[in-house]
């Protein structure tokens, strides 16, 4: 992203546009993108938006989300094209209005006339409407020059792959045979997978409910259910009753790889929002402690457990500061789902690839090492710790575990599915995850 300008002030009132109009969606999404350009996260911007406009109809909300996520996935290409059409960037949120309009033109070329018309209508409500003519001219030029602009964009690394240069170079170096596929996956809509709460329902019962609801779904080899197309959770059979949860299929390997047995003492050290915590409790009768550093996120763990009819001890603490939470009794199993760059789930969080910086990876790696060293102290001899990230960067994954094993002579790396560790790359079925299983010498 370009250098971050001052964060735009929130509007004094909602735009005077029909809520169900494309112009309204354009204006609202442009303000969200402008927040990200200013350095905020899309999650924060959306939270503020829904708090300010709680009565937003589901259809309007869905249109805003679709345009915001899609525009951020395509961000690198839009700015390349705008660089060809503008002598200098326009003030926010007008520049972001052009970004979202270009994304819409790319994805809905058959409605180009409507898109330009609604973008101009939207521009009339921003900054006194003084850029209305500029927006009209830029978008019409983009249409007239589309063939040439797309050829030029396809020849530019950032515009073609829609990721920052450092990200592209890192993947190209670490995955010489797969880097293009990883980048392409990061620009797609993510799949929607579900986890069955097998304490309350069987796969047969859940699949029958989906068939009755005429929602195509298939069961993957790890028991996850993959929907043919995403739907609102309100339409998911059994969700409200706690029969199923939304969880990426790749994340559903964690409980399986932990090698759980009834009666164990288990720690989920970085638990929020609680998907893996819940899956552990659905898998075995264990005494589980769930930690998170953030009190709000820890409450989400408790809420998820309550919906599913599960019980755990939920604490708010930094897992590295043992004196704040540990009672001195060692754990048989530890899930270390550590903070990371989230490079494996970037299609779900497309702002991340533009907000992250290259040196952030080293910062995360240093934090991960501190967490691993602290948690090793509370693992019982003969116990196992599963290290997990939603990253595809080697510094946070294989290099991290290799360094840890070197520091700790009592660490034995156990195979996963016949391999020393498991790196899942993002695909049509799951996001990108890394798993490594470590056993402490007895």
Residues belonging to the active site: 390
16 — phi, psi (to 5°)? -85, 65
**Is cis: bond before 273, omega within 30 of 0?**
yes
DSSP 210-229: HHHTT--EEE-TTS-EEESS
Nearest-angstrom CA–CA distance, 369 and 400: 7
Nearest-angstrom CA–CA distance, 348 and 73: 9
Please choose, from the candidates 182, 177, 105, 222, the residue with its C-alpha nearest in 3D space to the C-alpha of residue 347. Answer: 182
Which residues of 88-147 form beta strands (DSSP E)? none
Nearest-angstrom CA–CA distance, 243 and 198: 8
């Amino acid at each position: 992203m370009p250098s971050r300008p001052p964060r735009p002030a929130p509007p004094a009132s909602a735009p005077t546009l029909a809520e169900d109009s494309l112009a309204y969606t354009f204006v609202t999404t442009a303000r969200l993108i402008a927040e990200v350009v200013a350095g905020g996260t899309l999650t924060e911007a959306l939270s503020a938006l829904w708090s300010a406009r709680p009565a937003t109809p589901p259809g309007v909300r869905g249109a805003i989300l679709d345009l915001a996520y899609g525009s951020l996935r395509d961000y690198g290409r839009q700015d390349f094209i705008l660089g060809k059409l503008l002598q200098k960037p326009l003030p926010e949120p007008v520049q972001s209005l052009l970004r979202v309009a270009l994304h819409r033109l790319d994805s809905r070329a058959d409605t180009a006339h409507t898109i330009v018309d609604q973008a101009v209508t939207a521009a009339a409500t921003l900054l006194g409407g003084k850029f209305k003519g500029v927006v009209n001219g830029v978008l019409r030029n983009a249409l007239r020059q589309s063939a040439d602009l797309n050829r030029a964009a396809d020849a530019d690394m950032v515009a073609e792959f829609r990721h920052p240069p450092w990200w592209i170079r890192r993947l190209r170096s670490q995955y010489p045979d797969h880097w293009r596929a990883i980048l392409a996956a990061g620009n797609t809509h993510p799949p929607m997978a579900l986890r069955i709460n097998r304490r309350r329902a069987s796969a047969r019962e859940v699949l029958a409910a989906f068939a009755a609801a005429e929602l195509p779904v298939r069961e993957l080899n790890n028991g996850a259910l993959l929907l043919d197309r995403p739907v609102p959770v309100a339409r998911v059979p059994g969700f409200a009753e706690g029969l199923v949860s939304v969880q990426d299929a790749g994340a559903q390997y964690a409980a399986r790889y932990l090698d759980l047995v009834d009666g164990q003492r288990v720690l989920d050290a970085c638990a929020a929002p609680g998907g893996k915590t819940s899956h552990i409790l659905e898998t075995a009768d264990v005494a589980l402690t769930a930690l998170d550093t953030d009190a709000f996120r820890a409450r989400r763990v408790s809420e998820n457990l309550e919906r599913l009819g599960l019980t755990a001890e939920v604490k708010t603490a930094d897992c590295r500061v043992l004196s704040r939470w540990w009672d001195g009794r060692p754990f048989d199993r530890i899930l270390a789902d550590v903070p990371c760059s989230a490079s494996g789930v970037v299609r779900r969080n497309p702002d991340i690839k533009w907000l992250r910086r290259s040196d952030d990876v080293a910062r995360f790696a240093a934090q991960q090492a501190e967490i691993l060293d602290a948690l090793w102290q509370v693992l019982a001899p003969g116990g196992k710790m599963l290290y997990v990230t939603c990253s595809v960067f080697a510094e946070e994954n294989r290099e991290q575990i290799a360094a840890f094993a070197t520091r700790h002579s009592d660490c034995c790396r156990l195979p996963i599915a016949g391999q020393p560790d498991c790196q899942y790359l993002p695909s049509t079925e799951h996001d990108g995850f890394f798993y490594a299983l470590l056993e402490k010498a007895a």
